[in-house]
Structure 1
Amino acid sequence: MDTRSLACFLAVAEGRHFRKAALALHMTQPTLSQRIRVLEDEVGTPLFLRDRRHVALTAAGEAFLEPARAALVNARLAIRRAREAESGTVGRLRLGFTVIAFYGRLPAVVREFRAAYPEVAVELVERNSPALEAALVADEIDIGVLHPPLERRELTRHALPGERLMLALPASHPLAALAEIPIAQLSDEALLVAPRSIGPVFHDRLLALFEGQGVTPRIAQEVTPMTTLAGLVAAGVGIGFVTEGIARSGRSDVLFRPVTPEPPVLPLAAAWLGPRPNAAGQHFLEMIMGWDGKRGSALSG
């Protein structure tokens, strides 16, 4: 039972006239009559009593009328919703992110997206980068905002502006008096770092920064996420690097200072499975790619 046949039935039932209904539907009267006959065959009983002068609904037609009207409304709604979902204006977006990413511009982009696409439900999932890669491959999320390089070659990524690092140290630390802290003065400090398994490339680059200044870093504890690292700094466990976004969130018992030489920038990227995400995901990417004020091409992960 197609929507066109239901529309034909309703046009006749509401106007009680085959010729006028055919004109309203932009079809010939014989075509309309044929559609009604096919519909009656499908229902299994006549829906109209008709002669040369009058058209009336049978008892079956009266019973069929309201459900048919509701079915046509719902069918048209279903078609509209499907087309909107294809265009990315309704549906859902499953967005994964790291804690670090959510201390940057990401919350503002999520707010902007929700305002622009109010009928897209945004599901937020916080995990570390390796777990986000696994979630993308398992189709548990549509887009992940994480830290490259990526291990999963089937993922596509777009580089986003990275996060600069600041040294977090207790407010009472002797080096806190310096506006900028040389790495060479950190030789005796207990260092807090993220586990190498979470980001081996960045981990190695950070330690190389110390070694390049003749300092062998003394790793006191591996810790994740960076927000916890800041808490451990406040507790006097050691010092460590956090992003500018986390530094801006502020703690009265922790100070944040730049260091020289400048540490590596923590890379950030949006990643998805396959050549492109779903339509809602593509709209989100357009917004998130505007972080640096320009559009960029997707890079193979």
Structure 2
Amino acid sequence: MELRHLRYFVAIAESGSFTVAAKQRLNTAQPSLSRQIRELEAEVGVQLLIRSRRGIELTAAGRAFLDHARIALDQAEAGREAARKAARPAKPTFVLGFLTGQEMDWLPEAINVLRDELPKIEITVLSKTSPWLAEALTRGKLDLAFMRAEPGMPSLMYQLVTKERLVVVLPRNHRLALLEEINPRELADENFITVSSTAPTVKAVIDEFISRSGVDIHPVHEADNLTMAMTLVVSTGGVCLLPAYAEKILPVSVISRPLAGEAPTIDLVVGYSKANTSQTLQRFLSRVDDLISKVDDLVPRSR
């Protein structure tokens, strides 16, 4: 069984189509892809995929095999990354990830911690979505990330940094902008913009809050990122709920207001791989509490 067989199988399972997997993810011909899957099924000894009118469906054996295939690919990628790092031992390196927007608060002190511990360390900083960061940690491409605690990532560890409240984001000329705080009932008749599955943890918190509030709120748009959320707020006159850190990047035509009552919160954590035995990582983690205290002194926040 070869890694390419596993890569092809995962691509088909995730895209639900031989054609889409071949053209958009694997850059290979469909007949070749079909042949590779037949070879994989012959190696495993059971049928993994079924073609249907709705596309490709996994058999029970295929669903069981998928999780193991992903783990094998992740471990192979982590092994390659570890080997590359071992081949460049001359200078310590640390790759730090941030949920886009969070670096505004946390990057300066994170850099200070790393410089204190290892003055000559080479630091790389990446700003991405939380699911991307989780995947990169699993594959060994990041050492640590400020992110959400993404579900279904058993190889990752999380340490709480802060709890962020959700706030209402709306146009500056909106009728609700006159209020000091907004009761959830006021959102019932508004064009409500929610976040898409690109931010599954935030989406889950918002969905749970809407369900718990008992207010009849039906999202009419989904935003893939903060920029898109702001654009939809301005263009549609709608409202949305976002973590409070978004307040730092609001355009002048958009404002935020707190929710009345007990506002929902979402955890910001530092995440790292259980398999990462880097001494630099351990030294950084030992200073996380100091880092949190220093940032809280500069940027007070509800915890």
* Paired residue total: 206
Which structure 1 residue ranges, 5 or more long, are not aligned? 1-81, 295-301
Q: Name the CA distance, whole Å, in 1 between partners of 2:205 and 2:141.
A: 31
Sort the Cα spacing of 1:214 and 1:228 in 2 relative to 1 into closer, same or farther, 3 A: same
The farther-off stretch of 173-182 and 124-133 is 124-133
Sort the Cα spacing of 1:156 and 1:208 in 2 relative to 1 into closer, same or farther, 3 A: closer
Q: Name the CA distance, whole Å, in 2 between partners of 1:249 and 1:198.
A: 18
TM-score normalized by structure 1?
Answer: 0.61
Give aligned-pair identity as a percent: 21
Sort the Cα spacing of 1:175 and 1:286 in 2 relative to 1 into closer, same or farther, 3 A: same
The farther-off stretch of 171-180 and 268-277 is 268-277
Q: Which residue of 2 aligns with 1:155?
A: 156
Q: Name the CA distance, whole Å, in 1 between partners of 2:232 and 2:218.
A: 16
Sort the Cα spacing of 1:247 and 1:226 in 2 relative to 1 into closer, same or farther, 3 A: same
Per the TM alignment, residue 263 of structure 1 is displaced from its structure 2 partner at its CA by 3.0
Sort the Cα spacing of 1:261 and 1:163 in 2 relative to 1 into closer, same or farther, 3 A: same
Q: Name the CA distance, whole Å, in 2 between partners of 1:231 and 1:137.
A: 32
Q: Name the CA distance, whole Å, in 2 between partners of 1:235 and 1:131.
A: 28
Q: Name the CA distance, whole Å, in 2 between partners of 1:277 and 1:190.
A: 48
Q: Which residue of 2 aligns with 1:5?
A: none
Q: Which residue of 2 aligns with 1:246?
A: 246
- Correspondences of 1:39-188 after superposition (within 5 Å): 91-103=92-104, 105-113=105-113, 115-116=115-116, 117-188=118-189
Verify the 8 A CA contact 1:220 1:238 in the aligned structure 2: no
- Correspondences of 1:255-266 after superposition (within 5 Å): 255-266=255-266
Q: CA RMSD in A?
A: 2.6
Verify the 8 A CA contact 1:161 1:291 in the aligned structure 2: no
Q: Which residue of 1 aligns with 2:270?
A: 270
Q: Which residue of 2 aligns with 1:57?
A: none
3-state SS of 1:181 partner = coil
Q: Which residue of 1 aligns with 2:204?
A: 204
Per the TM alignment, residue 286 of structure 1 is displaced from its structure 2 partner at its CA by 3.1
Which structure 2 residue ranges, 5 or more long, are not aligned? 1-85, 295-303
Give the letter for the 1:168 counterpart: V
Q: Name the CA distance, whole Å, in 1 between partners of 2:237 and 2:191.
A: 7
Work out which of the two has the higher radius of gyration on C-alpha atoms and give 1 or 2: 1
Verify the 8 A CA contact 1:120 1:280 in the aligned structure 2: no
- 1:69-101 Cα deviation digits (max 9, x unpaired): xxxxxxxxxxxxx9xx79xxx511011221143
Give the letter for the 2:282 counterpart: Q
3-state SS of 2:283 partner = helix
Q: Name the CA distance, whole Å, in 2 between partners of 1:166 and 1:264.
A: 9
Per the TM alignment, residue 289 of structure 1 is displaced from its structure 2 partner at its CA by 3.3
